[in-house]
Amino acid sequence: MKIAFFSTKPYDREAFEPLAEEMKCDIDYFEEKLDSKTVSLVKGYDATCSFVNDDLNSDVVQALRDSGVKTILLRCAGFDSVDLEKARELNMPVLRVPAYSPEAVAEFAVTLLLAVNRKVHLGYNRTKEFNFDIDGLRGNVLKGRTAGVIGTGRIGKATIDILRGFGMDIIAYDVYPDMKSDIKYVSLDELLSQSDVITLHTPLTPETKHIINSDSISKMKDGVILINTARGGLIKTEDLIKALEEDKFGGVGLDVCEQESDYFFEDKSHVINKDRTLQRLLSFDKLILTGHQAFFTEEAMNAIAMITLTNFKKFIEDGDLTNEVNLFLESLQE
């Protein structure tokens, strides 16, 4: 069972190699992203394994099928990197990792919330210079405030559990609400207007792309805190920058952004002509941007490796499609 593994980092090999040997999977690791330029590398493999910034567009998916690839493995929960319609048309299974460690991402989302609210990053920068003045570092107590959670899958629910521990009032919006839960669902407009904190935990789909834009931002409270540990495309960057310039937010914590594909997971400190939009984002004191690290825990990496290779092994041996993306989306619409 041969897998072409793309966008490889040292920590990927550390997690996958021992398990691959145990499960008798033959993996070749490529540092390159999987896209139209590298898809020629997949000939002779049963599967590809890709990550969030690989580009499996329609032409790439067709090339995978033409090369004899039997299935697309995603070592992540999100599936916006793949042209799912083309995969469905070609009967090409797309197997993902729907829940490797919801708590890891939820805990990081709350980490960003606490950091921007209490201005930890600004205080740290001051004390490194032996400046212990706290003027300008005042935050707010979260207890009794309203948190709006957009997306109530496993990560959204784990975030809700944590925020309830702070004594926050929780409201939520989801296209597919879990009516069996005790979560209080409201319309998106109600969530935007009532929340002191808004945190995003929804997949990136055509329906959710730029769900945070100039119109939705205008409906938010002044001083709202915005957190995104899901996908960069949920926020229209130009509109976010304009709102930051107008001092709309009390704080913004991002682990993802629209400009990440050419930068994240790489050391780009040596690049001279850096992306201007990304530079503009990083110029705001009220914003913290991290490099898509919310998932990055020991537990999550082990779970990602186990579920990814189990998905592959079960599909090859039994045709199992438990974590197939298109089937999952169809089930939501029933």
Give CA 190 to chain center in angstroms: 24
Strands 197-200 and 169-173, how do they pair?
unpaired
The pair of three-digit structure tokens given for residue 208, joined into one six-digit string: 């959710």
Give CA 222 to chain center in angstroms: 26
CB neighbours of 98 closer than 8 A, spacing ≥ 6? 77, 154, 323, 328
Residues 195, 221: contact at Cβ < 8 Å?
Answer: yes
Q: HSE (CB half, 13 Å, CA atoms) of 327?
A: 12
C-alpha to C-alpha distance for 291 and 254, rounded to whole angstroms:
9
C-alpha to C-alpha distance for 168 and 84, rounded to whole angstroms:
38
Residues 294, 255: contact at Cβ < 8 Å?
Answer: yes
Taking Cα atoms as reference points, which of 175, 114, 168 lies closest to residue 150?
A: 175
What DSSP string describes 5-49? E-S--HHHHHHHHHHHHHTT-EEEE-SSPPSTTTGGGGTT-SEEE
C-alpha to C-alpha distance for 240 and 135, rounded to whole angstroms:
26
DSSP helix/strand/coil, 131: coil
Which residues are catalytic, by number?
231, 260, 292
